[in-house]
Amino acid sequence: MNILVINCGSSSLKYQLIDSETENVLAKGLCERIGIDGALTHQPAGKDKIKSTPAMPNHKVAIQLVIDQLTDAENGVVKSLDEISAVGHRVVHGGEKFTSSCVITDDVIKEIEACNVFAPLHNPAALIGINACKELMPGLPMVAVFDTAFHQTMPPKAYLYAIPHEYYEKYGVRRYGFHGTSHQYVAGKAAQMLGKAPEDLKLIICHLGNGASVSAVNGGKCVDTSMGLTPLEGLVMGTRSGDLDPAILEFIAEKENLSLSEVMDVLNKKSGVMGLSGVSSDFRDVKAAAEAGNETAAHALEVHRYRVAKYIGAYAAAMNGVDAIAFTAGLGENDDESRAVIAEYLGYLGAYIDPERNDVHGEDAIISTDDSKVTLLCVPTNEELMIARDTAALVK
Ligand code: ADP
């Protein structure tokens, strides 16, 4: 069956049409600048990208344009909407309510709304997409796939913060974790590549993109992850600080005469390798600057890689061992140098990278030596495929 996968942001929308039997992508694309002017990129499989700039005043218009592209006589990939069996939506925050993907009903929509407080930028956008699809494709089954769901197996010792317990009870302040769809996909793929059952493996998944998180997956279940109540905690990211001393917030607010929400803005949008290097949030730019002799840029990369290595160490301890460590997402899949530097910290685990095998970019590969006790892997993530799989399974 053909599944339309929708990933809605506040001003953008990514889509893929996936044949769930063959798992082939029939077409994919991106609507950008929704509510501003509008830009559409549509790519049928095996053909060139088609770019256009139709007016896109809102998400409903954007989704109608996506439907028009998919059913277009020339560049479409299906004859009519009848050839689309279901829609799978990426939803960032499912709170404690959603431990797995689910078919979208009015009650589910209400529950997603209740989680808006934790993801005020992301969840409302997903809901707009869900409601627009409901109007434009009435009766078509829809499924919500949550970034937080895979992490719901974490035990209390991993998800509780050491603050007054009433904040958890009253407001749900706890670690939720994000990128769960990616962590789950990569954990499954890693098990497959190792020829083992997920139940028999201790895995550490490093999702290193602009946003970045690490997870510890024991026996196929997530037992810890680096992002927290929000995606700000954990690793150093493109523009996000990750872990820091909470006292810094008050200190900077006083010194710079900023409100708390202004400090939060700095931590979310002006920190990470962007803030450290002053060069860019894009790791490629920061690398280029470091190679050209910019010492602050070099330090930014060191801080980033060191933090990843520390999390790997923490999660190896949390699971009392690790069988394999997988690198995924933009940087994890492509940046062999970062992988090599991170691996230098892992000798005590008996993990050794093979420089030749590590010369791999965006492909599934084992990158450790044959005698490495811990297998190191490069695994390109595929969140859209995971969403299509869950959607197909739930609407069958
Ligand atoms: P997100 O989905 O979080 O926006 P991605 O997973 O697409 O991010 O990753 C984007 C990041 O990956 C960018 O910061 C980019 O610099 C980095 N990246 C991609 N390719 C490379 C590479 N070859 N070397 C270093 N960094 C890379």
Atom of ligand 1 nearest to the CA of 210: 3
Residues with Cβ within 8 Å of residue 341, at least 6 apart in sequence: 301, 305
Please, which pLDDT band fits residue 120 given cuts at 50, 70 and 90? confident
Atom of ligand 1 nearest to the CA of 238: 14
Q: How far apart are CA 265 and CA 125, in angstroms?
A: 20
Q: Is the pLDDT of residue 81 over 90?
A: yes
Q: Kindly state the tokens that stand for 212.
A: 């970045």
pLDDT at residue 155, rounded to an integer: 98
- The residue whose C-alpha atom lies closest to atom 7 belonging to ligand 1 is 330
Taking CB atoms and a 6 Å cutoff, what residues make up the pocket around ligand 1?
209-211, 238, 282-284, 287, 329-331, 334-335
Please, which pLDDT band fits residue 121 given cuts at 50, 70 and 90? confident
Atom of ligand 1 nearest to the CA of 237: 14
Q: How far apart are CA 93 and CA 124, in angstroms?
A: 10
Q: How far apart are CA 104 and CA 139, in angstroms?
A: 11
Least confident residue range of 28-37, 114-123, 328-337, 381-390:
114-123
Q: How far is the CA of 305 from the centre of ligand 1 (A)?
A: 14
Q: Is the pLDDT of residue 31 over 90?
A: yes
pLDDT at residue 86, rounded to an integer: 98
3-state DSSP assignment of residue 164? coil
pTM over 0.85: yes
Residues with Cβ within 8 Å of residue 130, at least 6 apart in sequence: 89, 104, 109, 112, 142, 144
Residue type, position 130, single letter: I
Please, which pLDDT band fits residue 265 given cuts at 50, 70 and 90? very high
Q: Are 342 and 325 in contact (CB under 8 A)?
A: no
- The residue whose C-alpha atom lies closest to atom 14 belonging to ligand 1 is 282
> What mean pLDDT comes out for the span 19-40?
95
Residues with Cβ within 8 Å of residue 107, at least 6 apart in sequence: none
Least confident residue range of 117-126, 224-233, 297-306:
117-126
- The residue whose C-alpha atom lies closest to atom 24 belonging to ligand 1 is 335
pLDDT tens, residue by residue, 139-194: 999 999 999 999 999 999 999 999 999 999 999 999 999 999 999 999 999 999 99
Report the candidate in 217, 230, 86, 219 with the shortest Cα–Cα distance to residue 145: 86
- The residue whose C-alpha atom lies closest to atom 4 belonging to ligand 1 is 210
Going by the DSSP 8-state scheme, the letter that residue 358 receives in this structure is T
Please, which pLDDT band fits residue 27 given cuts at 50, 70 and 90? very high
Q: What are phi and psi of 95, to 5 degrees?
A: 55, -145
Atom of ligand 1 nearest to the CA of 285: 16
Q: How far apart are CA 72 and CA 74, in angstroms?
A: 6
Instruction: Report percent pLDDT > 90 for the chain.
Output: 97
Q: Is the pLDDT of residue 9 over 90?
A: no
Q: How far is the CA of 376 from the centre of ligand 1 (A)?
A: 19
Q: How far apart are CA 391 and CA 352, in angstroms?
A: 38
- Tell me the best of 305, 335, 360, 378 to mutate to test the pocket of ligand 1, counting ligand atoms within 8 Å of each CB and taking the most: 335
Q: How far apart are CA 393 and CA 146, in angstroms?
A: 15
pLDDT at residue 3, rounded to an integer: 98
Q: How far is the CA of 110 from the centre of ligand 1 (A)?
A: 34
**354 among known catalytic residues:** no
Please, which pLDDT band fits residue 267 given cuts at 50, 70 and 90? very high
Q: Kindly state the tokens that stand for 359.
A: 């010369």
Q: Is the pLDDT of residue 119 over 90?
A: no
Residue with tokens 């685990």: 349
Q: How far is the CA of 285 from the centre of ligand 1 (A)?
A: 10
pLDDT at residue 391, rounded to an integer: 98
pLDDT tens, residue by residue, 311-332: 999 999 999 999 999 999 999 9
Q: Is the pLDDT of residue 371 over 90?
A: yes
- Tell me the best of 208, 284, 327 to mutate to test the pocket of ligand 1, counting ligand atoms within 8 Å of each CB and taking the most: 284
Q: Are 119 and 65 in contact (CB under 8 A)?
A: no
Catalytic residue among 19, 48, 107, 147: 147
- The residue whose C-alpha atom lies closest to atom 1 belonging to ligand 1 is 210
DSSP bridge partners of 7: 14
3-state DSSP assignment of residue 184? helix
Structural domains of the chain in order of their starting residue, each with its CATH number: 2-146 (3.30.420.40), 196-378 (3.30.420.40)
pLDDT at residue 10, rounded to an integer: 82
Name the strand (E) or helix (H) holding 350.
none
